Amino acid sequence: MSMLDFMTNAVTRRLATMFPGFFDGAKHNHYADFGYPTAVTFDLLYSAYCRNSLAKAAVNKTVQKTWETNPLLQEFARDGSKTGKAETRREALIRQKFDDLRLWQRLAEADRRALVGRYAGVILRIADSKRFDEPVDSVAGGLDALVELIPAWEGQLTVNQWDTDPNSLTFGQPLMYSFAESAVPGAAQPRNLVVHPDRVVIWSEDGTLNGRSPLEACYNDLMDAEKVRGGGAEGFWKNAKSAPILEVDKEAKLLEMAKLMGVKPEELMDKMNDQVEGWQQGFDKLLMIQGMTAKSLAVTLPAAPEQFFSLPVQGIAANFSMPMKILVGSQSGERASTEDAGEWARTNMSRRTNTAIPNTMTLVRRLERFGIIPERDWHLDWQDLTAATAEQKMARVVQMATANKTQADASSERIFTVTDMRGAVDMEPLSDADAKIEKPVATDPGQADPTNTDPAKPNDPTAKPPAMAA
C-alpha cells in the first residue's frame, strides 16, 4: 500500500467518525441522516399511537370498520347447511353470555392492540379453581366457567419460558407467559401474573408472536408528518415572539452598564437575560439597552406546507391500504367518496377473513376443549361490509324495472319477475293474493253501470238530467 493510500484511508476513517453514513465507503445512512430510529421498538410504536393523531386514526379506523358490526356464533346442521335464520336455544345462550362478557368488544380491543405491536393477547379467566400458571383441564359449569377476557398489549404480555426441547411437540413455543399490566402507561389495575399458554390466545396476523406492526413500516412517515406540523407551528411561534439578538457596539462600556444595573461584570449576562425575558412576557413592553442594537431573527416558512405534509400522509394511507380521504376525513365529490368507501370495505373484509375470523375461531376451539361450549361445527355469521346500502338496493330495483319496460316494448317479454325485484331489496316474495292487482272493469258509456246506484250520476255523459216537476 502506498503512502497516498494509507493517508487516504486514515482521513476517511476520521471523516467517517465525524460524519457517519457519508465517508464510510457505503451508501448514505438515511436513518442517521434524517433522524429515524434504527430499531422501532414497541415503546416507540405505543407512544406514536398515543401521541400521533395520524397513527391513532389509521389504527382506530381500521378496527372500527372491521368490527363495524358484531358477529354471531352459529352452528351448521348435520347435513352441512346453516341452522337458518331462526336462532337455536344453544346459540341464544352463547349470544347472551358473550354479551354479558362484552366478548366481541374485548376481541376488537385485542385487534386494535395487535395493530400497534407485533401481537396482542387475550387472557382467559376461567372458574376452574386453579392458578393462572396451571394448565386447564375440562371444566364444569359450561358457559358460567368463563369469567373474563383480558386484552393485553405486547409490552404487557411477554414469554416467561420457551420450550427448548427439540423432541417436544411444542418445541419453540412458549411454556409460560408473564403478564405485567403496569408495563404500559395508564394501566388501571397493576396485575402481575405468570400465565399458562392454555389461558392465553395470541392475536396477530398469523396467530404467533412473529407478527409485524403496520405502524412500523410507516413510522418514518409519522415522524416526517410531525416534523412538518411541529416545525410550522414552532416557526410561527418564533416569528410571533422570539428572543432578540443583541449586537454590542464596539464602543459600548460594559463595565459602566453593569455598574448602572447594580450588578457585577460577570453577572451582566444574567441581568440582560432577565431583562429580555421580562420583555418577552408581553408584546407591549419596551427593551431598554445601552450601546446595543436589538435585532430579530425571522424564520422563513414555506408558502405552501401542504405538499410537504401530504407526502408522509400518503405513505401512511398506502401502508394501511386505506384511501387517503378516509384517513384524514376529507371527501371531495360523491363519486370519489363512494369508490373509496367500497375499496375500504373490501380491504377490511380481507382483514376479517385472514385475521379476525381465524383468531376468533382459535378462541372458540379453546372453549370447546375446555368444555365451556359443546363441540360443534361452529362458524361466524358476520354482516358483509360490501353489501349494498338501502339507497343502492332501491336504485337497483329501478334499473330492473327500466330494463323490464325496455324489453317488453321490444319483444313483449320481461327480464325480471316481481320476486326478483323484491329479493333485490331483501324482501320476501308476495303471496298470490297480495301479488294480484285489482283493476276497475271498463264499461260502455251507453250502458248502465250495474254498480252505479246514484241516479244523479248517469253513465252517459251526454244524457240530460231528469226534468223537474212543475
pLDDT at 470: 40
Residue 361 phi, psi (nearest 5): -70, -25
Nearest to 43 by CA among 135, 136, 156: 156
CA 319, CA 152: separation in Å to the nearest integer? 24
Q: Please name the residue ranges forming H helices in 52-140.
A: 53-66, 89-101, 103-116
pLDDT of the residue at 358:
97
Q: What is the separation of C-alpha 195 from the centre of its chain, rounded to a whole number of angstroms?
A: 29
Quote the pLDDT of residue 297.
59
Name the DSSP letter for residue 461: T
pLDDT of residue 435: 64
Give the Cα separation of 416 and 413 in Å (integer).
10
In whole angstroms, give the CA distance from residue 276 to residue 272: 6
Distance in angstroms (rounded) separating the CA atoms of residues 406 and 400? 10
Strand order in the sheet with 200-203: 146-152, 120-126, 200-203
Q: Produce one character per residue of 45-55: b if its CB has 16 or more CB atoms within 10 Å, e if not.
A: bbebbeebebb
Q: Tens of pLDDT along the chain (470 residues)?
A: 565 565 556 655 565 665 555 555 555 677 777 788 999 999 999 999 999 999 999 999 999 999 999 999 999 865 555 545 678 999 999 999 999 999 999 999 999 999 999 999 999 999 999 999 999 998 998 999 999 999 999 999 999 999 999 999 989 999 999 999 999 987 777 889 999 999 999 999 999 999 999 999 999 999 999 888 877 666 665 666 666 666 655 555 666 667 666 777 677 667 777 766 666 665 545 455 555 666 665 656 666 677 788 889 999 999 999 999 899 876 555 555 778 888 999 999 999 999 999 999 999 999 999 999 999 999 999 999 988 777 777 888 888 888 888 888 788 788 888 888 887 777 878 776 666 666 566 555 555 555 555 555 555 555 555 555 44
| CA gap 314, 61 in Å, rounded | 16
Radius of gyration of the chain (CA): 38
Q: Which of 386, 387, 382 is nearest to 67 (CA)?
A: 382
Q: Are 301 and 291 in contact (CB under 8 A)?
A: no
Given a contact cutoff of 8 angstroms between Cβ atoms, the answer to whether 161 and 181 are in contact is: no
Distance of CA 132 to the CA centre of its chain: 32
Q: What is the pLDDT of residue 127?
A: 95
Q: At residue 163, what is the residue type?
A: D
C-beta neighbour count of 436 within 10 angstroms? 9
Q: For the purposes of burial, counting CB atoms within 10 Å of the CB of 261, is it exposed (0-12), middle (13-18) or buried (19 or more)?
A: middle
CB atoms within 10 A of CB 355: 21
Q: Using alpha carbons, list the distances in angstroms from residue 131 to 146, 163, 263, 333.
A: 15, 21, 71, 58
